Amino acid sequence: MTATPDLRTAQLASPDLLRSVFRRHAAGVAVITAPGETGPVGFTATSLTSVSAEPPMLSFGVGTGASSWPAISEARHVGVHILGEHQRELAATFARSGADRFGAPTSWREGPEGVPVLDDVLAWLVCRVVARVPAGDHRIVLAEVVLGDPAGTGRPLLYHQGRFTALRD
């Protein structure tokens, strides 16, 4: 059920307004990975978007203050992993500042182009970065799909109202 908008309670644009509105937007959860000078890097993303079918391209946003940004800013290739509802803890690990994201219990291997590929995900892609577009305190990374595997099983993990959750029937 939705309510008729009350224009008298509208708020001026602010970071808090944007966060509040997007907490109501359920989003799929992905982990983006890349090789880095001192080892693999990665972060949890809910900004993953399909951009083009021909050629197959996607985009995601990353904050320029994120610990992964220096490696992502230089990476020629990235990994994109679609998480399943059984991977809440993995999503939280990759979202947590200062976490050892690739230590136990994270299971991964080095994939094509040196990209870290996570195990047991619903689907994964290795993509070639084609552009990094400035967008406020973030960069929108455009990447062309090189190869991947959509054969994982299970249901997708979602992010809604500030927490990881699952689909309900």
Residue 109 has a pLDDT of 97
pLDDT in the model for residue 28: 96
- What's the rounded Cα separation, in Å, for the pair 69 and 159? 22
pLDDT for residue 22? 87
H or E element at residue 42: strand 41-45
Contacts of residue 117, Cβ cutoff 8 Å, sequence gap at least 6:
33, 79, 81, 108, 109, 110, 111, 124, 126
User: pLDDT tens digits for the chain (169 residues)?
Assistant: 667 888 888 889 898 898 888 888 899 999 999 999 999 999 999 999 999 999 999 999 999 999 999 999 999 999 999 999 999 999 999 999 999 999 999 999 999 999 999 999 999 999 999 999 999 999 999 999 999 999 999 999 999 999 999 988 7
Q: Please report the pLDDT score of residue 1 as a whole number.
A: 61
Task: Give the end-to-end CA distance of the chain in Å, rounded to a whole number.
Answer: 17
pLDDT, residue 9, reads: 85
Q: What 8-state DSSP symbol labels residue 125? A: E
What is the per-residue pLDDT for 49?
96
Question: 106-112: long-range contacts at Cβ-Cβ below 8 A with a sequence spacing of 24 or more?
Answer: 108/33, 108/40, 111/79, 112/77, 112/146, 112/147
Contacts of 104 (CB under 8 A, 6+ apart): none
pLDDT at 8: 83
CA distances 94 to 8, 59, 73, 87, Å, are 40, 18, 18, 11
Q: What SS3 class is residue 11? A: coil
